[in-house]
Structure 1
Amino acid sequence: MNDPIKKFIQEHREAFDNLEPSADVLERLKAQLRPTPVVKKSFFKRYQRTNWLAAASLLVGMICIYLLTERQGQGETPPDNSLAAAKQPIPAATAEPIVVLPTAADSLATRTKSHPAANEGSALPKKRENLHVADMKRTKPAPVSLAVRLADSSSASIRLAAILEIEQSGKMDDKIRTMLSTTMNKDANTNVRLAALDVLSRYLQDADVAAVFASSLATQDDPLVQLGIVKVAAQIDHVGIEEALFALARSPYTFAAVKDEVYAVLLNQNKL
């Protein structure tokens, strides 16, 4: 596409070339093309704020040193003039007689001499100490009996310790057998019941112990203890034991594990 303006300018180029800009325009262009000189500031002008901060820090440091020096000077104690005053002679007219005060040892010696009975008080602490030792010996608690400890419902450990003492003693009489039987059947703690059962099972050769197990099978309400008695009953040949085993096998309230153990014992003894 032809542009008439462009074509006109190309045809009359020589008429436009004779025109030149004015001198002012050239001067302004030259001034713009000249590089601007870089003015270097001095060190103190560039860091003028830093100089003020350094001067202020120096001033504060000098004030602190002055205050510390002043306080140390005030804290010094004035020279003691008491020695110098002591060295000065006392005038004869103003001198006073020196009074010697009695010490505590002197007063004690005086009281002791005037009151001989006071010497007897020194033996009182020893007498009181001897009386205290005698009282402790008299007030020593008496050993608690096995029956009391087995009946102690406040602590299962006390009852277990009593059963352990019976086991270590190796004795079994009517009184101990009755206490262990009561504990095995009526104690509130299963571990205590089993401990009593274990001690009684060591005396199966005693006919009275076999009777205890027979009666316990009929009244025992703890399944774990029932299992223990059934296992012990397998070693006892007693009519009461056999009847108690059949009663457990027929009872609808017997636990399944106890029934299984009862049937196993009866089968081994050929009683089924």
Structure 2
Amino acid sequence: MNDPLKKFVQENREAFDHLVPPTDVLQRLKAQLVPPPVVKKPFMQRHGKAIWLVAASSLVGIVCTYVLLSRPDMPQGGGAEPRIAQQADTEVVAPRSAKGMPSAADSSLSNEPSPQVAIAQRPQPSPSKKAVRPASAQPHTPSLFSRLADSTSASIRLAAILEIEQSNKLDDHTLTKLFSTMNHDANTNVRLAALDVLSRQLHRPQVADRFADALAVQSDPVVQLGLVKIAAQLNHVAVEEALFALARSPYTFSAVKDEAYAILLNQDKL
């Protein structure tokens, strides 16, 4: 048995049987087991604060209603209608002379237009017309190639490359612009975006020659590494010569040089 205290109690159980606990211990235990009675508070004590809040809000509402209704500029119920409406509804009867001819007052009334005619003759506001901007004032949208050559913002050039990719219209002129961007753009992300679009045009003629030229003129190691990986898919003499030049150049980045050697070994060119 691992517990020495328990072992001691079991071995000396008879020595503890003559001990009797005090009488008040059982009473205290019974008192603790009986839950205390719950005293329910009156309603006013439990909800007195909420009742006062309701009464205060009602009093504030009554005072605000009285102040609004007692303002002199508020229109009263059943008040007089506008003056023009009264004049329009009132029929003017001109006095006539004894012989049934219209009097001078009648002739003066006949010269004045009636309220209905005056209202009808009031010039109506012409409907507003939207101002049409002349064609010369329309905002000029830069062309796609001008945005591709925008040197002020790399995001504009990236957006132009994305538009070229989505249009799926890559003619020779567009390919030339993309190769120029990949080789000479100042931003690496723009170069990689152009490389990504051009890597899907390997089936087109003369693309291999342009990739070989790009391997020769590219100076960005990140783009060089991407070009070398694409060159592994091209079986072209100019591409092989460009890979040899990269592998033997002392200025080539080590990772690019290793990738070029690996491609040449896989193609049995070494």
TM-score scaled to structure 1, two decimals?
0.53
Deviations 1:226-272 (A, max 9, x none): 00000000000111101111111111110111100000010011000
Q: Specify the code of the residue in structure 2 equivalent to 1:201.
A: S
1:194 is displaced (CA, Å) by: 0.4
Partner of residue 179, structure 2? 181
Partner of residue 220, structure 1? 218
Deviations 1:59-78 (A, max 9, x none): xxxxxxxxxxxxxxxxxxxx
Secondary structure of residue in 2 paired with 1:119: coil
Partner of residue 249, structure 1? 247
Partner of residue 191, structure 2? 193
Distance in 1 of aligned mates of 2:162 and 2:153: 15
Which consecutive unaligned segments of at least 5 residues does structure 2 have? 1-82, 88-113
Distance in 1 of aligned mates of 2:156 and 2:133: 28
Kindly indicate which of the two structures has a greater share of residues assigned to helix. 1
Partner of residue 265, structure 2? 267
Partner of residue 148, structure 1? 146
Partner of residue 230, structure 2? 232
Q: Specify the code of the residue in structure 2 equivalent to 1:168.
A: Q
Partner of residue 168, structure 1? 166
Secondary structure of residue in 2 paired with 1:207: coil
Distance in 2 of aligned mates of 1:206 and 1:229: 17
Which consecutive unaligned segments of at least 5 residues does structure 1 have? 1-102
Between the two proteins, what is the percent identity of the paired residues?
61
Q: Counterparts in 2 of 1:1-272, with a 5 A limit? A: 119=123, 122-123=125-126, 126=127, 129-130=128-129, 132=131, 134-135=132-133, 139-272=137-270
Deviations 1:25-56 (A, max 9, x none): xxxxxxxxxxxxxxxxxxxxxxxxxxxxxxxx
Which deviates more, 221-230 or 168-177?
168-177
Q: Specify the code of the residue in structure 2 equivalent to 1:172.
A: L
1:140 is displaced (CA, Å) by: 3.5
Would you identify which runs of 4 or more consecutive aligned residues in structure 1 move more than 2 Å? Answer: 136-144
Distance in 2 of aligned mates of 1:135 and 1:172: 35
1:170 is displaced (CA, Å) by: 1.6
CA-based RMSD of the aligned residues comes to: 2.9
Q: Specify the code of the residue in structure 2 equivalent to 1:143.
A: T
Distance in 1 of aligned mates of 2:210 and 2:150: 22
Deviations 1:73-94 (A, max 9, x none): xxxxxxxxxxxxxxxxxxxxxx
1:165 is displaced (CA, Å) by: 1.1
Distance in 2 of aligned mates of 1:148 and 1:171: 17
Distance in 2 of aligned mates of 1:166 and 1:119: 56
Distance in 1 of aligned mates of 2:136 and 2:185: 35
Q: Specify the code of the residue in structure 2 equivalent to 1:119.
A: P
Q: Specify the code of the residue in structure 2 equivalent to 1:218.
A: A
Deviations 1:116-157 (A, max 9, x none): 8x938x33xx4xx5251x117764324322101111111111
Q: Specify the code of the residue in structure 2 equivalent to 1:230.
A: V
Secondary structure of residue in 2 paired with 1:166: helix
Corresponding pairs, count: 160
Summarize the Cα distance change of 1:209–1:130 in structure 2 as closer, same or farther, 3 Å threshold: farther
Partner of residue 45, structure 1? none
Q: Specify the code of the residue in structure 1 equivalent to 2:173.
A: K
Distance in 2 of aligned mates of 1:237 and 1:146: 33
Distance in 2 of aligned mates of 1:271 and 1:141: 57
